[in-house]
Structure 1
């Protein structure tokens, strides 16, 4: 009997395949198949050690991670006032002789725990740009904003699920009856003898969705090149829309404006990326370029919608020379695009701020999973495992990206062949739109330091309780000594030492999450009870 863990810290022996059992790849245990009794034995051995409590506290920050990074080296404690090195200790004195650090991967298929943290950070980042807070002024609530979806053009007919009118509340779990895929009375055939028609009504999980009706007719080269240049196409589109709105403002005698955006990229089943974009209208003063100003009242949501629609329709650009196509490829948006207004409370065709923030955050943790392909960066040694010009749809896309990237000017296609040519970030924003991921992580680290310092200094010194996002500098000012710990660390490995360690760490993390959830529910209940009006006697 083998033990199957949903949060296994193992890496597959063969790239692109799932681990057959815990203990494979990143796990340092030698057996390929881990028996249940052996896993329990390693967990009991760890729990029976006298330093178990210290070990559990040591791995707390990475307890829920499926493949934590192990670091070893020296930790130096320095007096920040004099620069004197107070103490130096090696990680060999710590449990397991290493420091565990969460991998921080944003993809749910790689590490659900770290991806959830990334998704929460993305949600607060996006929503702060709509309602304010976290150094963003609250006046952004009044700024006109729209949510746009821009798609790729067609590179050949593919199997689709066409629902003309979806009545489902959750579009991702649509159960409406779709129209036939490609219903044609004449049922034409392509030059390769395949019928370019399909009368099936595909279900949501149909493996044929996104696959070409004729793979030999499909333009794989144009597909991967479009993915590779989609970011540049978006830059030019936003630039045109902003210029159009500024021209409109000048005609109406209004001051200058600026469009601030947050953007998430999503793969369609066919492997082409499309963008979900949040656009917020701001005022602009060249003398105060970093200040978020309210826009003039003469520019409306309808004006923004018209400007983005015009830009998405007319903006194109041609790629540089390539030996396969000397004239370059034409890069343009597809004919399907949608632009909807955003309000603080959804009504009619509008979207509310929470739905938009959650939507962008959700797609920021996804990758090429929708196409049926997942892999790490490819090399000449591993490309043969995934690329095949006569294979499946993802294999042909990877082969096209790799083959086109043989010239120095197009080497980026080989670098991003595992992403089907797309090399951009999955969640990007304008500099003035909101806060950064780095600032959110710094605030989280400061809060944890404050919490730890509060636990060690409470009592005799009367150190106050830690407040949320309290900075370390404020805490240091209240302590007698100001020190800084600097690590000189190197990579020691990836994954837990044993599946028993993984089981104990993940269980402790799950219990901590459950306590946090229960505490939040209790606080919310108490707040609701205290705010309610008591009944008359």
Structure 2
């Protein structure tokens, strides 16, 4: 990730002012005289001032865990070391003894546009989570490799014609940077107009970065209300679709004299340019063990991936339901999938129309870090004080969608539309999975924390000879009973602020993190090269 050199401080704008809230105002960058006053660039000057301090090495060590974060959380308070056997407080330390008087914690935001470093960590975790459900490992049995699996993409219906880029024969290896010549957007022999007098034809061949993509041909004809309501109910539509597919597969199993089966899924949501979400779904067929329903078992041999594709296709084309009535639409809105959907099998060695497991895992992980930026809108949760900045019933397409969600959300029973107006009505998680599909994010994070804790205690790789191994993918409730630690560090911490104290601190921390990542990458490449040389030098058996 490139280091951001020109990112402004996240603290208050007025130096020396009193602060009504913790972390604002008191730590603003000041322009004091220093040996580096000759440096006109502020981020370089503050970086030199920090590096010249005697506690610079200690500061780098304490910010290491959040060094690559764009907006780290600063916490202050007490850290107590407690004997887990007796409950005695062995030591008590205040963060004022640490550099800057605070503890830095990475923000953990999953959106790449907000914090690229934390989003990259989330993406890597998502990749391992999704792929473990396909190939096993990390407490998932390796037998899942033989389970039939498919990858489905389900889209929203049309709420009105929009500008599109139609490439019928794409030859680019990277579809996100396609340079193929597109077909005309909405070619018509006649020149019809809508009731508002807007032409319903477009002969333009849009490029991939055209700002018109996803925008309605006529914004007044577009059904913005139905659009945000569909986004709001998309999660329930998927739940019913999966239920229907499972019922169809179990009916098929009974007809063939086979035991019951179930579908385990991993799902990522993505915004289209028009602002409607669509789902990328990985579905794995599992069997059911009557004696241990929570176990991941192989399905019967009589059901194949073609049967799963047929079941999901049938559910996607038939499932529909009507929402509760709304004062603006007493009959409710119809919630159903769009006509465009794609369902393909997954294999460990992709061939023909099948997809590779690594490609699917990377695909879902990539979209789990995205948000509404594809629509041209990015904001945090909206309130009555900020809604007017982003909503306009006569404005741009995203502004109309936000206005529709906010207006519809005033009715009783529909208030969640206001809560998720900044997400255009969609309030679901961007990456979800069935409980039995794979491991959890929590187990992955506990594994990382245990590794770093052992690394800090031992001063080097915790897997080296004579040093303890890390805790391997255990539930949070099991950690206290399965670790051999006799002391526990409890933090009584409160929020002190967000962001780095100065742009120079951010430059130094991000640079140190980039160098650490480069050392890790070089080390991995060296280990892989040594492993390859050893395997190639081993003589083949006669």
TM-score with structure 1 setting the length: 0.92
Number of aligned positions between the proteins: 515
TM-aligned CA deviation for residue 9 of structure 1: 5.8
Is the Cα–Cα contact under 8 Å of residues 70 and 493 in structure 1 kept in the other structure? yes
Is the Cα–Cα contact under 8 Å of residues 28 and 496 in structure 1 kept in the other structure? no
The verdict on how the C-alpha distance between 1:415 and 1:76 changes in structure 2, with shifts beyond 3 A counting, is same
The verdict on how the C-alpha distance between 1:36 and 1:303 changes in structure 2, with shifts beyond 3 A counting, is farther
The verdict on how the C-alpha distance between 1:146 and 1:110 changes in structure 2, with shifts beyond 3 A counting, is same
Question: Where do 5+ consecutive residues of structure 1 fail to align?
Answer: 14-23
Is the Cα–Cα contact under 8 Å of residues 154 and 280 in structure 2 kept in the other structure? yes
Is the Cα–Cα contact under 8 Å of residues 9 and 66 in structure 1 kept in the other structure? no
Is the Cα–Cα contact under 8 Å of residues 10 and 27 in structure 1 kept in the other structure? no
SS class of match (1:64): coil
TM-aligned CA deviation for residue 167 of structure 1: 1.6
Residue equivalent to 1:28: 28
Residue equivalent to 2:188: 184
TM-aligned CA deviation for residue 49 of structure 1: 1.1
Q: Give runs of aligned pairs for residues 266-281 of structure 1, distance below 5 A.
A: 266-281=270-285
Residue equivalent to 2:494: 490
Which of these residues, 207, 210, 216, is aligned with residue 212 of structure 1?
216
SS class of match (2:537): coil
Is the Cα–Cα contact under 8 Å of residues 471 and 483 in structure 2 kept in the other structure? no
1:338-378: CA deviation from partner (whole Å, max 9, x where unpaired): 00000001101000000000000000000001000000000
TM-aligned CA deviation for residue 28 of structure 1: 3.3
Mapped to 2, the partners of 1:83 and 1:490 lie a distance apart of 23
Is the Cα–Cα contact under 8 Å of residues 183 and 197 in structure 1 kept in the other structure? yes
TM-aligned CA deviation for residue 46 of structure 1: 1.0
Which of these residues, 238, 242, 246, is aligned with residue 238 of structure 1?
242
Mapped to 1, the partners of 2:92 and 2:323 lie a distance apart of 55
Mapped to 2, the partners of 1:150 and 1:12 lie a distance apart of 45
Question: Where do 5+ consecutive residues of structure 2 fail to align?
Answer: 14-23, 32-38
Mapped to 1, the partners of 2:221 and 2:102 lie a distance apart of 54
Which of these residues, 308, 329, 333, is aligned with residue 304 of structure 1?
308
Residue equivalent to 2:18: none
Which of these residues, 527, 530, 537, is aligned with residue 534 of structure 2?
530
Q: Give runs of aligned pairs for residues 128-167 of structure 1, distance below 5 A.
A: 128-167=132-171
Is the Cα–Cα contact under 8 Å of residues 160 and 216 in structure 2 kept in the other structure? yes
Is the Cα–Cα contact under 8 Å of residues 444 and 469 in structure 1 kept in the other structure? no
SS class of match (2:65): helix
Residue equivalent to 1:464: 466
Is the Cα–Cα contact under 8 Å of residues 10 and 26 in structure 1 kept in the other structure? no
Mapped to 1, the partners of 2:8 and 2:483 lie a distance apart of 40
The verdict on how the C-alpha distance between 1:26 and 1:117 changes in structure 2, with shifts beyond 3 A counting, is farther
TM-aligned CA deviation for residue 107 of structure 1: 0.4
SS class of match (2:239): helix
The verdict on how the C-alpha distance between 1:368 and 1:442 changes in structure 2, with shifts beyond 3 A counting, is same
1:175-202: CA deviation from partner (whole Å, max 9, x where unpaired): 1111100000012100000100000110
In the alignment, is residue 322 of structure 1 matched against residue 326 of structure 2?
A: yes
Is the Cα–Cα contact under 8 Å of residues 344 and 353 in structure 1 kept in the other structure? yes
1:144-175: CA deviation from partner (whole Å, max 9, x where unpaired): 00000000000000000001121211111111
Is the Cα–Cα contact under 8 Å of residues 12 and 28 in structure 2 kept in the other structure? no
SS class of match (1:408): coil
Mapped to 1, the partners of 2:70 and 2:423 lie a distance apart of 22
The verdict on how the C-alpha distance between 1:447 and 1:267 changes in structure 2, with shifts beyond 3 A counting, is same
1:368-405: CA deviation from partner (whole Å, max 9, x where unpaired): 01000000000000000000000000000000000000
Mapped to 2, the partners of 1:174 and 1:442 lie a distance apart of 40
1:216-237: CA deviation from partner (whole Å, max 9, x where unpaired): 0000000000000000000000
Residue equivalent to 2:17: none
Mapped to 2, the partners of 1:167 and 1:456 lie a distance apart of 48
Which of these residues, 424, 433, 436, is aligned with residue 432 of structure 1?
436
TM-aligned CA deviation for residue 286 of structure 1: 3.7
In the alignment, is residue 351 of structure 1 matched against residue 355 of structure 2?
A: yes
Residue equivalent to 2:34: none
TM-aligned CA deviation for residue 321 of structure 1: 1.3
Residue equivalent to 2:413: 409
Residue equivalent to 1:5: 5
SS class of match (1:409): coil
Mapped to 2, the partners of 1:30 and 1:315 lie a distance apart of 61
Q: Give runs of aligned pairs for residues 46-57 of structure 1, distance below 5 A.
A: 46-57=50-61
Mapped to 2, the partners of 1:12 and 1:66 lie a distance apart of 16
Residue equivalent to 1:105: 109
TM-aligned CA deviation for residue 89 of structure 1: 1.4
Is the Cα–Cα contact under 8 Å of residues 387 and 398 in structure 1 kept in the other structure? yes
SS class of match (1:232): helix
Residue equivalent to 1:373: 377
Mapped to 1, the partners of 2:26 and 2:317 lie a distance apart of 48
Mapped to 2, the partners of 1:207 and 1:357 lie a distance apart of 30
Comparing 164-173 and 302-311, the one that deviates more = 164-173
Mapped to 2, the partners of 1:26 and 1:282 lie a distance apart of 57
Mapped to 1, the partners of 2:105 and 2:140 lie a distance apart of 31
Is the Cα–Cα contact under 8 Å of residues 140 and 294 in structure 1 kept in the other structure? yes
Is the Cα–Cα contact under 8 Å of residues 58 and 99 in structure 2 kept in the other structure? yes
Mapped to 2, the partners of 1:138 and 1:252 lie a distance apart of 27
